[in-house]
Structure 1
Amino acid sequence: MTPADFIAQWGPGGASAHLNEEQGAQSHFLGLCELLGVPKPGSPEVADEYLFERRSRVIGEARGYADVYYRDHFAWENKAPGKNLDAALRQLLQYSLALSNPPLLVVCDRLVIRIHTQFTGHPSETHTIRIEELADPAVRELLRRVWSDPESFRPRLTSRDITEEAARSFATLAEQLRARGHGADAVAHFLTQCLFCFFAEDVGLLPARMFERLVGNRQLTSERLTQGLASLFTTMQTGGLYGADDIPWFNGGLFARIDVPKLEIVDITELRKAASLNWSAIDVSIFGTLFERGLDPAKRSQLGAHYTDPATIARITEPVITRPLLQEWALVAQDLSQLAAKIRKNGDAAYKKTHQRFVQWLERLRAYRILDPACGSGNFLFMGLKALKDVELHAITEAARLGLDREQDLVTGVHNLLGIELNDYAAELARVSVWIGEIQWRIAHGYGAKTNPVLEPLEQIECRDALLTWPLPPLGEGRDGGQPTPIEAAWPRADVVVGNPPFLGDRKMIRELGEAYTFALRKTYEGRVPGGADLVCYWFEKARAAMAGQALNAAGFVATNSIRGGANRKVLDAIVRDSRIFEAWSDEPWVNEGAAVRVSLVAFGHFSQAATLNGDQVPAIASDLTNLSHPESDLTHATRLRENADASFIGTQKNGPFDVPGDVARAWLALPNPHGQSNAIVVRPWANGLDITRRPQDRWVIDFGVDMPQDQAALFETPFQHVLTHVKPTRVNVRRDWHRTNWWLFGDSRPGLRKLAANIERLIVTPMVAKHRLFAWLPACQIPENLCVAIARADDTTFGILHSRMHELWSLRMGTSLEDRPRYTPTTCFETFPFPVGLAPADTAHQRTEPIEGGALIPADLPEVPFENFKPNQPPALASQAQPAINSKSPATAPATLREHACAIACAAHRLDALRRNWLNPPEWTQGLPEVVPLGMSTSPYPDRMAPRPGLSEADAKALKARTLTKLYNLRPAWLAQAHAQLDAAVAAVYGWTDWRNDMPDEDILRRLLALNRQRTQTESAP
């Protein structure tokens, strides 16, 4: 068939023009396929993927879902000439879900073909082809791509691109208006009204591009434009005529307050620029976040930062909202299917009974409530509403397949949402986000926007504190009656709670929320939330309490990934005790206030769905967000052991610039003082976590000890003058009185650590936060800072046990993390760890060591008794699992005494440390330089420091600088792996694990250690 033949047959007055819709639909489509040279429906090469309408009649409709359906290509609806193609498109949109959401929706009345794109994450575009244009080869090629290459119709811009550009434009406007003295609140409210107007006219709610024409009218003065905008907003509030145009009643609270600032030409120009964007395609899942950054002066700097992907938010909404509701619907659908089987005709008794059952389900959805008690600018609320409406549409589609009339409108809407938000900007944007989001959803699925009013009121998104409320003082109370005592804030009753509560750590809470609020918060929730817990934990606890009071079914929150351990985990312990965690992502990337962070996503409640952890189904999820495949491996039951107390410490906290470069400190050590004492008493080398994981920084610190009086400190003349000049000014306005009055002393000098360190020559240290769990030696004269953990032991045996795979696994599971780096804390990682019997910190508390052959140090005075006496290391329940030993000494040759076991561990640890030091500082590249001898001393109290050899080549110097412990463990060369394997075997032997092997599963090791912890706990608690 030639183009001329086709146009002649189907054009106005053609031979087939008289055919009605049903008569002409398939003939026209088959002729078009011949013209374009594309497959016809039912062709062998496309089989069941490409079909004419299936005759599955839908009651209340003339016929089925679409005239033609080609999977992953298009759905096609034919109409007779002159019929409403917009109505045809709405029909396809309503059936799109049942058709697996094809990327193209095509409507045709034989004279006009309209191709509508519906690619997820992109604005919809329309391509219109008139029948006479088919004579053009280029037009035929465009239409042929509907069959051959639907992906080629994907719009270039994404909805995100448009949203980001719109947010930048409005941020510029906000900044301009604020710079001229307009109040930030008034500016934000006005621009929020403007952005809604842009959206409303792009989806046809404001007629004839009214808002764009108004701001684009170059004849209007600034004053007239201001008046015009105020008049338009007033009309939108109540509805009515604006000039010759009839404006719908918008309502909803958005236009209740009207205060249009005076606009200058630069503002009007920016508004015109914004008007050119396709506001109908705004991505509501990120809209609120981006506009909040632009409109809130406090968040302006975050405008170009990252934001959370909606697919990640769905990891909360899917298990908490979608999945449980679909489970409920599956049961309803079974009832409907059984009832519908008895229907004989539309309207009979069986039909009415079936329809009534379906109406009950719709009423369930109408009454469903989703609460976000930290809703921000509405991302979670919109995603929750979308999930709810998707469920309703799915149910309507399935019910239609069973023979029920298709519902003409939806029962779900913004009334299903509840929110609490403290920030005014965010709360208003949350309301606008869900308004726009619902309108977009309705249009995208073939439902028009609601009218009378267009916007439902959203007073249920409240602007208030979600945790505390201050009741009004009693009537008659005097002005000096004092601040009323806060009480716990109430949450509205809801079916589910979802959200992303604020991330504030224990220490940041006081700085950002204030001391009074923080203390009041902790007092109010005392006994329910530990005092040192992060702010996010209070939302978890409130949700748990609501479930306990039958006011909530389930909750899903985003939290810092540190919620898995320490004080934070106590709230998850309570949740697991009272209900269950049914879905969790333990350590995921997220965006918080524009910054990339690591988080845990936790869904909990009484839902019966299978437990899913990190995307995998598991038997149960423990409160540390691990797979609870065996109750005996639940490390949340591990407790602190008295035998490990008073041995590990967080390093000193300076609270001021006490540190100085090494060359400055060495110069001070040569200076005299009035009282004749050396500056070496108060000037000492210093180390933080980077000194362990990287190369030493050669930083020293001025340290006046625990309680040196100011008059004595002043006698160390130069160091004191430095502290007076640099430290004292930083302590003037600090919160704590002690820090202000004792400004020359560290904020926390760790007296317990100092007392123990005074009796030994070296300490074991590990960075609190690091990619690898590394331990190293630190001279006792060197001060560790607060991001280090110090263990006050000098023997290689303890060092070896800590650096074994056993302790590494334990610390990784018992600790928390900062972003993707594990965090080590004394209370959770060290004090809970079950050391081998006879080698626990309590057994080495005397701190004396004795050297053995090769230079390693072991704890002194270890008993020379048969090792069999120490068999309690091997839990009886696990003894039956013993297998032939691999990579360890056989029982016949194993050390016979505890001392010999300690020697084996010490030798392996000493060798590991020596190999690492030689790799870090090769003798060919480095040399040891004697440290400075302070004035008045005959020898230096400090160890030699390593320095590059003179004449080292540039390449070797660069290679030396790159040699760090972090890099070494990233590379993990064979010699390092072998050294650790030898150490692990020696430690396994002292535990009595004769079945040890290098590839023993982590869970087996942790299960054994937990059994030992529980065994020790029972022993310690025994009378």
Structure 2
Amino acid sequence: MTPAEFIAKWGPGGPAAHLNEEQGAQSHFLDLCELLDVPKPGALPGEEYLFERQSLVLGEARGYADVFYRDHFAWENKAPGKNLDAALRQLQQYSLALANPPLLVVCDRLAIRIHTQFNGHPSETHTVRIEQLDLPDQRALLRRLWLEPESFRPRQTTRDITEAAAKSFATLADQLRRRGHGAEKVAHFLTQCLFCFFAEDVDLLPGRMFERLVGNRHLTSDRLTQGLANLFATMGEGGLYGADDIPWFNGGLFAHVDVPKLEIIDITELRNAAALNWSAIDVSIFGTLFERGLDPAKRSQLGAHYTDPATIARIIEPVITRPLLQVWEQTMQEIRALAAKIKKNGDAAYRKTHTRFVQWLEALRAYRVLDPACGSGNFLFLGLKALKDIELLSITQAATLGLDREQDLVTGPHNLLGIELNEYAAELARVSVWIGEIQWRIAHGYPPKLNPVLEPLDQIECRDALLAWQGEGEARHAVEATWPTATVAVGNPPFIGDKWMRGELGDAYVDALRATYAGRVPGGADFVTFWFEQARQAIAQQTLHAAGLVATNSIRQRGNRPVLEQIARATRIFEAWADEPWVNEGAAVRVSLVCFGRSTQPARLDGNEVAQIFTDLKAQPLGAGAAVDLTLARPLAENADASYFGLCLAGPFKVDAAQAAQWLRLPNPNGRPNSDVLKPIYNGRDITDRWSGHWVVDFGARMQEAEATLYEAPFEYVRQHVRAKRMQNRRAARAQNWWRHGEARPGLRTQWAGLGHYIATVETAKHRLFVRMPIALAPEHRLIVIPREDHATLGMLSSRMHVVWALARGGTLEDRPVYNTSQIFETFPFPAHLTPADTAHQRTEALPSGALIPAGLAEASAQPAPDSKTKQPAALTNRANAAINTIAPSIATRQHASAIAEAAHRLDQLRQHWLNPPEWTRRVPEVVPLGLAASPYPDRIEPRPGLSEADAKALQKRTLTNLYNLRPGWLAQAHETLDAAVAAAYGWADYTPELPDAEILRRLLALNLERAGG
């Protein structure tokens, strides 16, 4: 068919022009396909592309669209002169049933209108009139519907529009505040303005009234200010504004009008903002961005990242969507059974079926979503969207059974409750909900509500969610704040760590908070845990059904976990994401998402179904047999006083190597060398990377100021650089003892007295590994120190058994595991007779290889040669293992210790050789302090003179982190040999590298409970 033939047939006066909608719909579409040379319905297999099959329901033909092409378009045909806006609304209402096609097309034969609905993009409209079909470019545009639907995706995203709008309003806010207008007044005025821009872009304000007003260049500043005040007042009450009838907006947004005087620079910025497509702003991020722009305290965050709505959905889906859909599925089964008895519309069976559906809708109307720290409304809007999506789904599915569509929706802003302390955020939360509600209705074919346009949202309260204050003056005291009754609570409470609470909230507030929640929230818990406890109590009191809250991932760790333990005792954690990226106040953090309450849905951790979620946010896998709940593990007495943090300096005690070398050559009036108070110092990066070369001034744990002054140069340095800062310290002991480190670790110093080495691991690191360090090297705070020097202890700590326990019991910071001594070291069951208590305060004895074991072990025969197959010592193979256990425990223990020490020593040697190959490095004696015959420090390791640039770069990359990233075969083999020796010490004759981690944990937990008496 040629364009001329098509236009002649279907144009005004043509032979097909008289056909009604039903008669002309399919034949018009088929002719169009022929004209455009595109496939016709039915050309593809299955139901990908077809004329909508209409089902006869109660004598009425019903269908969702005239043509459906999956992932392309839904198409509705109307007779000439029919209302295409109504046709579009019909497609929008059924879009969900049509798998949300990206393009909605309405056609009255005289015009074809294409409406885009790509997620995350503003909607655009393209129109092709019948007389234009003789133009190649117009036919090409229509062909793209079939061949390139993605080409209609708008280039600009709703995020782009929202970010531009927020930046524009941030500029306005800054200009007005700089001229002396109060921040609260400015924020309220601009919030009114932004809603006006949105309202006129969705045709709630007639004739682009607001844009015309700010764009009128003939108005003086005073006249414009008065005009805006009059408009806002009219919007609050409804009525005439000039010749235009303004809807009654209500909702509280326009109850208070106080327009600041606008200068030309402000008016120009408003005119620029008017050019944006405000109907398309992304409400899921809108509140966050505008809060940053309008709140002076958050302006610096404007360009920072924000939380992706898909991440928030990880709480909304299990707490709201999934359980409601489960209820709807059950309800739908009841409705389907009732509908089977309907004979005609309106009969008794129909009324009974309809009544059951209305009961479901009333349950949705009564549903309440509470966000007790709602911020600018992200969670609230996404909660409302979930409710409205479910309602639309249920209406659509009920219609397939013959039930008439309800006139309007029952869900809306009244379903939401919020608590927010920040007034900027609270007002923006209300506006976010209002705009989001209107956007959703328009996108799904429902006109905005009128009289009023905005439902009051007084239930989004501006107050403290944790404390209320009663009494006056000295009698004023804090009591626990109450939350309104709700169905579910969701939200992202403030992230303030225990150590920062006083600085952020003030001593008085923190004292009142901890006193009010004493016995329920641990004294050292983070701020966010108080919201968890409030939610737990509300669930226990049956004023809340379930909750989904965000916390920093430290919620799983010792100081905070008792709150989760109380939740687990009272109810159930049914969904969690243990360690996820998040954005808080513009900064990237790692969080845990925890959903708990009265729910029967299967437990899911990190998106996978599990048998049970424990309070450390680990899980028992499905079908894994007996639960391995590591939170049951208890501290073991034999492990006490054997692990410590390194030195917490609490001041600039560090100096560089050159400064240290100069001091080491100076005399002192006490005749002592400065090496008494100077040490090379290692932090976590120095272990996992390469040493930075820093030294530290260290006056020990008990040295008095008078004695410290005798080390002249180091003391003078500390007096000049540390004293002033430390005198301001809130801790009296740190201020009084300013010349000593903030935490000098006297217990650690006592434990390592007389040792030549100690063992250390980095508290937070990608790989859990342990190293031996000379006692002359000072460990900084982020190192965990075990004051033992023997290779047997090093081997047990480096073994798979201990590392698996550490990863399972420890927390994470961002994406790096954290070694918590109380949770990991103190609970780890070492092999019998090789515990920290057995190795404490013992000198060590060298094996022939140079490896060290505690010398307190009894004499035993020489170490057997390794078995060629198992790589274990021959005496530790399966058959011999049973025999060795019949020998006196001291002999078996020595053999086990020797095997572990040999393997650990070999591992340590290989690592050191790889890190510092003698072909590339040399050892240089450290500075010999004045008055000493030799240096007390280990040799420095330096690149060899003349090393090529390529080799020097390669040497810099030789770090423990990179080694364990690579994990070469020799390293894996060395660890397997070590693991086999440690497994033998446990008596695990069946151990192989294939033994699952879960089984290792099960055995270790059983041993822990046995020793702890549990």
Q: TM-score range by the shorter chain?
A: over 0.9
Aligned ranges 1:88-237 → 2 under 5 Å: 88-237=87-236
Q: Which residue of 1 aligns with 2:398?
A: 399
For 1:688, the aligned partner's letter is N
Between 1:784-793 and 1:590-599, the stretch displaced more is: 590-599
1:593 and 2:598 correspond: no
1:616 and 2:608 correspond: yes
Q: Which residue of 1 aligns with 2:53?
A: 54
Deviation digits for residues 390-433 of structure 1, max 9, x if unmatched?
A: 11111111111111110110000011111111222211111111
TM-score, normalised to structure 1's length? 0.95
Q: Which residue of 1 aligns with 2:460?
A: 461
Q: Distance in 2 between matches of 1:887 and 1:939?
A: 42
For 2:531, the aligned partner's letter is W
Give unmatched runs, 5+ long, in structure 2: 863-868, 885-890
Structure 2 residue matching 1:328: 3-state secondary structure? helix
Q: Which residue of 1 aligns with 2:9?
A: 9
Between 1:916-925 and 1:533-542, the stretch displaced more is: 533-542
Q: Distance in 1 between matches of 2:211 and 2:522?
A: 55
Q: Which residue of 2 aligns with 1:684?
A: 679
Q: Distance in 1 between matches of 2:626 and 2:265?
A: 67
Q: Aligned match of 2:817 in 804, 817, 822? A: 822
For 2:659, the aligned partner's letter is V
Q: Is contact 2:557-2:810 (8 Å) kept?
A: yes
**Alpha-carbon offset, residue 712 of structure 1:** 2.7
Structure 1 residue matching 2:841: 3-state secondary structure? coil
Q: Distance in 2 between matches of 1:624 and 1:148?
A: 52
**Alpha-carbon offset, residue 132 of structure 1:** 0.8
Structure 1 residue matching 2:300: 3-state secondary structure? helix
Q: Aligned match of 1:797 in 773, 788, 792? A: 792
Aligned ranges 1:628-643 → 2 under 5 Å: 628-629=620-621, 630-643=625-638
Deviation digits for residues 904-953 of structure 1, max 9, x if unmatched?
A: 11111111111111111111222222222222323322222212222222
Between 1:71-80 and 1:644-653, the stretch displaced more is: 71-80
Aligned ranges 1:347-386 → 2 under 5 Å: 347-386=346-385
Q: Is contact 1:760-1:847 (8 Å) kept?
A: no
Q: Is contact 1:885-1:996 (8 Å) kept?
A: no
Q: Aligned match of 2:998 in 993, 1003, 1012? A: 1003
Q: Aligned match of 1:890 in 877, 880, 890? A: 877
Structure 2 residue matching 1:897: 3-state secondary structure? helix
Between 1:301-310 and 1:994-1003, the stretch displaced more is: 301-310
1:808 and 2:798 correspond: no
Q: Distance in 2 between matches of 1:917 and 1:181?
A: 65
Q: Which residue of 2 aligns with 1:881?
A: none
Q: Is contact 2:75-2:105 (8 Å) kept?
A: yes
Q: Is contact 2:58-2:344 (8 Å) kept?
A: no
Give unmatched runs, 5+ long, in structure 1: 474-478, 868-883
Q: Is contact 1:566-1:816 (8 Å) kept?
A: no
Structure 2 residue matching 1:516: 3-state secondary structure? helix
Q: Distance in 2 between matches of 1:46 and 1:179?
A: 66
For 1:553, the aligned partner's letter is H
Structure 1 residue matching 2:262: 3-state secondary structure? coil
Between 1:771-780 and 1:986-995, the stretch displaced more is: 771-780
Aligned ranges 1:330-729 → 2 under 5 Å: 330-473=329-472, 479=473, 481=474, 484-629=476-621, 630-729=625-724
Q: Is contact 1:797-1:903 (8 Å) kept?
A: yes
Q: Which residue of 2 aligns with 1:872?
A: none
Q: Which residue of 2 aligns with 1:932?
A: 927
Structure 1 residue matching 2:477: 3-state secondary structure? coil
Q: Which residue of 2 aligns with 1:880?
A: none
Identity of aligned residues (%): 69
For 1:82, the aligned partner's letter is G
**Alpha-carbon offset, residue 61 of structure 1:** 7.4
Q: Distance in 2 between matches of 1:907 and 1:519?
A: 54
Q: Is contact 2:66-2:75 (8 Å) kept?
A: yes
**Alpha-carbon offset, residue 139 of structure 1:** 0.7
Q: Which residue of 1 aligns with 2:888?
A: none
Q: Structure 1 residues 866 and 435 mapped into 2: Cα distance closer, same or farther (>3 Å)?
A: farther
Aligned ranges 1:730-749 → 2 under 5 Å: 730-749=725-744
Q: Distance in 1 between matches of 2:626 and 2:168?
A: 56
Deviation digits for residues 680-737 of structure 1, max 9, x if unmatched?
A: 2222222211111111112111222223332332232222222221112212433222
Q: Distance in 1 between matches of 2:1010 and 2:501?
A: 38
Q: Is contact 2:842-2:856 (8 Å) kept?
A: no
**Alpha-carbon offset, residue 281 of structure 1:** 0.9
Structure 1 residue matching 2:240: 3-state secondary structure? strand
Structure 2 residue matching 1:486: 3-state secondary structure? strand
Q: Distance in 2 between matches of 1:170 and 1:787?
A: 44
**Alpha-carbon offset, residue 892 of structure 1:** 4.6
Q: Which residue of 2 aligns with 1:969?
A: 964
**Alpha-carbon offset, residue 141 of structure 1:** 1.4
What is the aligned-residue RMSD (CA, Å)?
A: 1.9
**Alpha-carbon offset, residue 185 of structure 1:** 1.9
Q: Distance in 1 between matches of 2:485 and 2:861?
A: 65
For 1:576, the aligned partner's letter is A
Q: Is contact 2:58-2:343 (8 Å) kept?
A: no
For 1:109, the aligned partner's letter is D
Q: Distance in 2 between matches of 1:865 and 1:250?
A: 91
Between 1:1007-1016 and 1:956-965, the stretch displaced more is: 956-965
Q: Aligned match of 2:916 in 910, 918, 921? A: 921
For 1:733, the aligned partner's letter is Q
Q: Distance in 2 between matches of 1:165 and 1:931?
A: 59
For 2:29, the aligned partner's letter is F
Q: Distance in 2 between matches of 1:210 and 1:704?
A: 75
For 2:518, the aligned partner's letter is E
For 2:82, the aligned partner's letter is K
**Alpha-carbon offset, residue 89 of structure 1:** 0.8
Q: Distance in 1 between matches of 2:303 and 2:477?
A: 41
Aligned ranges 1:75-94 → 2 under 5 Å: 75-94=74-93
Q: Distance in 2 between matches of 1:830 and 1:434?
A: 49
1:261 and 2:260 correspond: yes
Q: Is contact 2:860-2:895 (8 Å) kept?
A: no
Q: Distance in 2 between matches of 1:886 and 1:369?
A: 63
Structure 1 residue matching 2:680: 3-state secondary structure? strand
Q: Distance in 1 between matches of 2:459 and 2:519?
A: 31
Q: Is contact 2:907-2:971 (8 Å) kept?
A: yes
Q: Distance in 1 between matches of 2:313 and 2:811?
A: 25
Between 1:457-466 and 1:592-601, the stretch displaced more is: 592-601
Q: Which residue of 1 aligns with 2:782?
A: 787
Q: Is contact 1:866-1:897 (8 Å) kept?
A: no
Structure 1 residue matching 2:550: 3-state secondary structure? strand
Q: Is contact 2:283-2:435 (8 Å) kept?
A: yes
Structure 1 residue matching 2:118: 3-state secondary structure? coil
Q: Is contact 2:200-2:206 (8 Å) kept?
A: yes
Q: Structure 1 residues 516 and 686 mapped into 2: Cα distance closer, same or farther (>3 Å)?
A: farther
Corresponding residue pairs, total: 995
**Alpha-carbon offset, residue 200 of structure 1:** 0.8
Deviation digits for residues 52-104 of structure 1, max 9, x if unmatched?
A: 23222466977322222222222111222222111111111111111111111
Q: Structure 1 residues 451 and 472 mapped into 2: Cα distance closer, same or farther (>3 Å)?
A: farther
1:770 and 2:770 correspond: no
Structure 1 residue matching 2:559: 3-state secondary structure? helix
Deviation digits for residues 286-311 of structure 1, max 9, x if unmatched?
A: 11111122222222222222211111
